[in-house]
């Protein structure tokens, strides 16, 4: 009986140790915005963002005022390029197009997650084989309410790109055999950018964490 008990204790200890290194396990979250000042966020001022609106901190949120046509902010700190998750809350304050166009890295490539584009409801990622979110396999539609906060989650691994809005998964895209690109405008927003299009948007509680690579 004593030997069996010791065996169970040893097995539990080994499981606890191994549990910290399971494929897909995540580290602690790192906040990218404290709700008080811009910090490492800066204005993007090239191409479609030349006639940008104001980027400011208001009510603990990063607010991107309506531009002509776009407004964008870029995070200038260090970020993982692959095997990571990003979470944030976003809302369309006023306007009728995307309130969160998040440009992010996929290794040495990049994509833009669109929330509410092409007239206000399109979701998906741009571009896959040169096709924008509204035309490729990730295209979806959601009715976004102005003034309502939505939780947006992005997961980037070597095998998959996944995204959720609240509890609804809007992207589930294997990476194998697919070519990822972005338009030249958001290139200036890398390594991580948030943009709006003829719309005032706000984000808050934005954070990132690396995750363990998935097993092959």
Position 84 in a domain = yes
In this prediction, residue 106 carries a pLDDT of 97
Domain count, the chain: 1
- Output the domain CATH number for residue 68: 2.60.120.560
Position 215 in a domain = no
* 3-state DSSP assignment of residue 71: strand
Integer Cα distance of 15 and 215 in angstroms:
18
Indicate the range of 12-21, 143-152, 187-196 predicted with least confidence. Answer: 12-21
Give the chain's mean pLDDT: 89
Integer Cα distance of 139 and 124 in angstroms:
5
Position 15 in a domain = no
Range of the domain at 199: 28-210
In this prediction, residue 59 carries a pLDDT of 97
Q: Are 211 and 84 in contact (CB under 8 A)?
A: yes
Number of neighbours of residue 24 by Cβ within 10 angstroms: 12
Q: Is the per-residue pLDDT at 21 higher than 60?
A: no
Q: What average pLDDT score do residues 112-129 get?
A: 97
Residue pLDDT, tens place only, 78-101:
999 999 999 999 999 999 999 999
Position 12 in a domain = no
In this prediction, residue 185 carries a pLDDT of 77
Position 216 in a domain = no
> Which residues partner with 42 through β-bridges?
74
Position 1 in a domain = no
Integer Cα distance of 194 and 102 in angstroms:
5
Residue pLDDT, tens place only, 152-203:
999 999 999 999 999 999 999 999 999 999 987 778 889 999 999 999 999 9
Number of neighbours of residue 119 by Cβ within 10 angstroms: 11
Give, in degrees to the nearest 5, the angle at Cα 109 between 122 and 56. Answer: 60
In this prediction, residue 25 carries a pLDDT of 63
Integer Cα distance of 215 and 110 in angstroms:
23
Query: Residue 211: which residues within 8 A CB-CB, separation 6 or more?
Result: 24, 25, 26, 27, 83, 84, 85, 155, 157
């Amino acid at each position: 009986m004593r030997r069996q008990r010791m065996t169970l204790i040893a097995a539990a200890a080994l499981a606890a140790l191994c549990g910290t290194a399971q494929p897909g396990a995540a580290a602690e979250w790192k906040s990218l915005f404290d709700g008080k000042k811009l910090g490492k966020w800066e204005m993007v001022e090239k191409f479609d963002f030349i006639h940008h609106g104001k980027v400011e901190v208001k009510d603990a949120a990063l607010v991107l005022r309506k531009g002509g046509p776009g407004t964008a902010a870029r995070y200038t700190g260090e970020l993982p390029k692959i095997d990571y998750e990003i979470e944030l809350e976003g809302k369309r304050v006023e306007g009728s197009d995307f309130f969160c166009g998040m440009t992010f890295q996929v290794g040495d490539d990049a994509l833009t997650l669109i929330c509410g584009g092409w007239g206000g409801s399109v979701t998906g990622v741009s571009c896959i084989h040169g096709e924008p979110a509204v035309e490729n396999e990730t295209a979806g539609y959601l009715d976004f309410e102005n003034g309502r906060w939505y939780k947006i989650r992005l997961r980037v691994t070597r095998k998959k790109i996944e995204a959720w809005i609240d509890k609804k998964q809007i992207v589930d895209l294997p990476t194998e055999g697919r070519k990822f690109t972005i338009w030249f405008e958001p290139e200036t927003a890398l390594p991580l950018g948030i943009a709006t299009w003829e719309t005032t948007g706000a984000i808050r509680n934005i954070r990132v964490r690396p995750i363990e690579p998935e097993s092959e």
